[in-house]
C-alpha cells in the first residue's frame, strides 16, 4: 500500500516542480514587480529544485540507492545501445568494414543489458 502512495507523491512533486520550472523559463518573459521580479523567479526556481531534491530523497528512502542506480545505468546502457544500433555510421562512410560490425554488436549487447537492468 505504501508503494502506491509513494508513487503518487513522487508524481505530484515532480509534476509541480517541472510545472514551476516551465512557467519560469518557458513563458514569454516573466513579468513580476519591476524591482523584485527576478527575485521572485529565482524563488520559484529554488522551490522547484527543492521539490526535485525531495522527490529524489523519497525515492532513495523507499526503494534504495542501489535499485535506483541500477535503473539509471540500465537507461544509460539502453540509450547508448539504441544509438549504436540506429545512428552509428555505416561502413560506406568514413570507417572500415570491421567498425560497423563492432558498433552493431556493441549496440545490441548494450541494448539488451540496458532493457534487462531497467526491467529487473
* Cα-based distances in Å from 1 to 4, 6, 65, 68, 96: 6, 9, 21, 20, 56
Q: For 13, how many CA atoms within 13 A lie in the half-sphere containing its CB? A: 18
Distance CA 91, CA 109 (A): 19
What's 35's DSSP letter? Answer: T
Cα 19 off chain centre by: 16
**Does residue 29 surpass a pLDDT of 60?**
no
User: Is 108's pLDDT higher than 90?
Assistant: yes
Q: Are 107 and 84 in contact (CB under 8 A)?
A: yes
Taking the whole predicted model, whether its pTM rises above 0.85 is answered as: no
Can you give the pLDDT at residue 73? 93
- Please report which confidence band the pLDDT of residue 110 belongs to, taking 50, 70 and 90 as the band edges: very high
What band does 23 get if pLDDT is binned at 50, 70 and 90?
confident
Amino acid at each position: 500500500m505504501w508503494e502506491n502512495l509513494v508513487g503518487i507523491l513522487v508524481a505530484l512533486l515532480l509534476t509541480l516542480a517541472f510545472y514551476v520550472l516551465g512557467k519560469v523559463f518557458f513563458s514569454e518573459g516573466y513579468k513580476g514587480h519591476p524591482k523584485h521580479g527576478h527575485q521572485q523567479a529565482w524563488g520559484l526556481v529554488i522551490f522547484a529544485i527543492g521539490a526535485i531534491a525531495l522527490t529524489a530523497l523519497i525515492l532513495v528512502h523507499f526503494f534504495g540507492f542501489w535499485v535506483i542506480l541500477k535503473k539509471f545505468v540500465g537507461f544509460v546502457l539502453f540509450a547508448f545501445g539504441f544509438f549504436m544500433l540506429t545512428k552509428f555510421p555505416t561502413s560506406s562512410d568514413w570507417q572500415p568494414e570491421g567498425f560497423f560490425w563492432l558498433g552493431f554488436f556493441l549496440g545490441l549487447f548494450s541494448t539488451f543489458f540496458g532493457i534487462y537492468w531497467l526491467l529487473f
